[in-house]
Structure formats: C-alpha cells, structure tokens
Structure 1
Amino acid sequence: MAAPSFETLIKKGTSVTEEQLQTLLRTTDPKGTPYADLLGRHSYNTPEDALAELCKLLGLEFIKDIPVNDIAVDIVRGIPINYAKTQEVLPFKDEADRVIVLTTNPVNHKALEDLRVKFGKRVTALVTTSSR
C-alpha cells in the first residue's frame, strides 16, 4: 500500500486551507527549489511526519506531544473557547518578551496577529497537529 501523499496528511492533521497549501508548495527555498519538490522527496506516514518536515522548511518549531501540564492556564482563560477552536490556536507559555502559541496552521497570520494584540507581546508559533 502506498504512503499517503504529503497534501493528504497536511489536510488531515492541520487547519491549513487548500489555498494556503498550494501557496506553500509553490514557495521556493533560497536555491530556487519549490517546496513541493523538496517535500516530494520523502514519504510520510503520519500528519506529524509531514508537518514536522514542513516546519523545518519554514524555520518553525514543531511539537509532537504537548506537555499539557506546561500549558499556562492563566493566559488560556483570556481566549474565547470558540475562537481557540475555530482558529486552532492555544496560548502555551507566557514569557517576559513573548507568548508561545500552539497552532495547527503556521500560516494563519491573522490569528497570530490577533493574539499579539491581545497579549501586547511578540507571538511565536509552536506548530502541532489537530489530533493533539
């Protein structure tokens, strides 16, 4: 049985839209190689595998297993539950100069900007899959 395609796994495990995915796949690395070609060189068995590889290309951090006890409950309380669910974002850690936010969509800049305004700090995305 053939491994699922990169696109199928990303759609299954994240909130990345089809349009966002196609834009990402057309993006090129510094040598001019499209991400679609770079990502097509590997086979992926899970959404986590595919998303971790995409994060490497984008220079973003990926976390497979979220340490639930590390989630800063006090900052989560300030986010409406419906917003967190629809945008698939969750504040994770509050640091002196930034808030680290869990997200399933590293290119959802609007949600990250909303949280930057909400917290008045720089927001850093920590990417994970929807299944977490």
Structure 2
Amino acid sequence: MPSPLFTRLQATADRLISTYGQAGSIKRIMPPDPILGGDGAETVYAATLVPMTFDQRYVNGTTLLSTDRQLYISSVGLAVVPQVGDIATAGRVDYHVIAADPNNYDGVTNVVYIVQGRIP
C-alpha cells in the first residue's frame, strides 16, 4: 500500500517537473530475438524531464564527466522505469543513461527518476 507521504512527494515532484521541465522521451532498444534474429525492437515512451548540470565538485573525469547531465524525470504517467542503456531525449539532445535511481523509498511509489545522462 502506498504511503500518503510518498504519494504527496510524487505529486509535488510531478508539478515542479511539469512547470520547469520540457517534453522529451525515453527510448529503449530491445535486443533481437535469440532464435529468430533480426533487428532489435525500438520503443519510445513520452516523458517530462529536466536536464541539470552536476555540481562541479562531484565531477571526477572518470565516472562523472563535465558534460554529463542530471535528468529529473517525472514518474507520473511514465510507462517504463528508466534503466542503464536507455536513451533519454530532451530538447533534441540525446543522453545515454549511465546510472539510474528510481527514488523508491517505500518500495511501492517511485517518487521521481534521477538519471545520469551522457552525450554520446
């Protein structure tokens, strides 16, 4: 059962991301069928997100580059949980998802997705 606190936090995060964010997408490329082969299936999910620059004190040049962006993605209405290997698009810029955090504190409600995106 979802906690009322986390439901309110999810609504607040959605409101802020909807106000200050932009329309974008999450693209997931599924691998080809291991038996039949062929091309992998590509699925695009609509999302609302906010790309932000990481604080420079955390940039170390190996796991976190100066060109990486922190993407806040609203969990409300998103049909997929962002994961490593997805491609997040915001403002016609594609970001490869390097790390993903669903911010799921009670085990039920995904409050907001925060991912590390890297420009290829």
Q: Normalization by structure 2: what TM-score?
A: 0.26
Q: If the length of structure 1 is used for normalisation, what is the TM-score? A: 0.25
- Choose between structure 1 and 2: higher helix proportion: 1
